[in-house]
Amino acid sequence: MNNCKFFDFHTHKINTPPGEGIVCLPQEVILFLEEWKPQANGFYAAGIHPWWTAHENFDLALHLQGVEHLLEFPEVVQLGECGFDRLQGASIGFQTEVFERQIALSEKYQKPVTIHCVRAFDVLLAEKKHLQPKQQWTIHGFRGKPMLAKQLLDAGFNISFGINRNEESWNITPSNRRHEESDGQ
């Protein structure tokens, strides 16, 4: 990776030029509704977004099967985005089940995790303590204040920042533990 060039740690733009970012795959790909093959030298992430868990016909087994299938591709370098959202999604109890099942896959396939977390950092920190994962967990799109950033860094998380970042949080995050992202659609 060239230091001068922006590497997009988290984007949904499926046509991101290979090597310029990590493309988070859409639900259609996870559920095998679309035939998918990675682009040469591309980087991808596959996971169950917490928002999907609230859909009427959400099928956990089917989603997990899709994520596991995708993790077998070497080009799929992360599990994600997954996590917790108190504003959108199923109950936190069910979101926890969905999250823990995915963490088991991350550990099995030795792939790091990209995390979506909205108003649920208490749950996320408790999960980290409880599960003691070996794989790196990175919060994406972090906008929080430095106090929360410090708490997350102390717990072993890395942090990815978008354009709406808190500058002080960015500054206190060591450069080898922070990323930049567009979260582009």
CB of 30 to Zn ion, least distance (A): 14
Smallest distance, Zn ion to C-beta of residue 89, A: 14
Q: What are phi and psi of 65, to 5 degrees?
A: -60, -40
Measured at CB, which residue is nearest to Zn ion? 183
> Alpha-carbon distance 137 to 120, whole Å?
15
**Using CB under 5 A as the criterion, which residues of the chain lie in contact with Zn ion when the complex forms?**
183
**Nearest to Zn ion of 7, 172 (CB atom):** 7
Spatial CB neighbours of 14, under 8 Å, sequence gap ≥ 6:
23, 25, 26
DSSP count for the chain of H helices, then E strands: 6, 8
Cα–Cα distances (Å) from 149 to 6, 9, 117, 162, in that order, read 22, 18, 13, 14
Q: Which is nearer to Zn ion, 108 or 119 (CB)?
A: 119
**Cα-atom radius of gyration of the chain, to the nearest Å?**
16
Q: Which is nearer to Zn ion, 66 or 80 (by Cβ)?
A: 80
**Closest approach of Zn ion to the CB of residue 71, in Å:** 18
Q: C-alpha distances in angstroms, 135 versus 104, 117, 132?
A: 10, 18, 9
Q: Which is nearer to Zn ion, 42 or 50 (CB)?
A: 50
Rounded CA gap, 178 and 12, in Å?
19
- Compare residues 8 and 183 and give the one whose CB is closer to Zn ion: 183
Q: How far is the CB of 10 from Zn ion (least distance, A)?
A: 6
Q: Minimum distance between the CB of residue 122 and Zn ion, rounded to whole angstroms?
A: 22
Residue 101 parent element (H or E)? helix 92-109
Smallest gap from residue 132 Cβ to Zn ion (A): 26
Which of residues 85 and 183 has its CB atom nearest to Zn ion in the complex? 183
In this structure, the chain runs to a length of 185
